[in-house]
Amino acid sequence: MCAIVRNGEIILYSVQSPLAVKKLERTGQLYGSKAHSTTEYLEAYSWLAKEMRKRLPPVDRKVSVPLWAWYCWEGDFKNPCDLRRSCLVPRGTNAFRIKFRKPRNEVLLSDFDGWHSVLNKGYHSYILKELDAFDNLKVSPAKRKTLMEKSWMKIFDLNSTSKRDAVDSIQATFWNIKSNEVLDITEFKGR
């Protein structure tokens, strides 16, 4: 598992649009925006923002959706946002990789694979018996939703022994990137 924290800070890599980088350069900060979010996932983003408000230092209430970055991808924390990968942005799209440092207490780390349970509104478990048991429950829709959301908390437990293997892809969510946190900005085109 990836685990590099120095002086209370971690190094992260975020992929952003040219417009976002211009805003960061112009204003000195970049925030998440519902206007630039995928609308079909706004409910999942709202759930994550609620968890971030519980776990991270206070933030301006106008900020409603987080920003994302890679902390670790497939066990690689030295270069988790390798520009040779084809999955970062659609082919031919201009984008920027921002390498930056962030105080660890301002970042919520989570299991990237597990996050898809939240996005897809499904029960989260890597144990087939647990998934089957949930699928066969005879409970009200409200109780089912409560149990499902409780299962999502497991995405924050990066040391759990109930995972299929060690968590090897870890995403980071946070409220902003400040220009004084930026270490490098690299322009690239999606492959």
Of 30-39, 58-67, 98-107, 161-170, give the lowest mean pLDDT range: 161-170
Domains and CATH numbers, the chain: 9-120+165-189 (3.20.170)
| pLDDT tens by residue, 20-42 | 999 999 999 998 876 766 777 88
Tell me the mean pLDDT in the region 157-174: 75
DSSP string of the chain, one letter each residue: -----BTTEEEEEEEE-HHHHHHHHHHSEEE--GGGS-GGGHHHHHHHHHHHHHHS----TT--S-EEEEEEBTTBSSSTT-TT-SSSS-TT-EEEEEEEEEEGGG-EEEEHHHHHHHHTT----S-HHHHHHHHT----HHHHHHHHHHHHGGGG-TT-TTSSS----EEEEESEEEGGGEEEEEEEE--
pLDDT of residue 158: 84
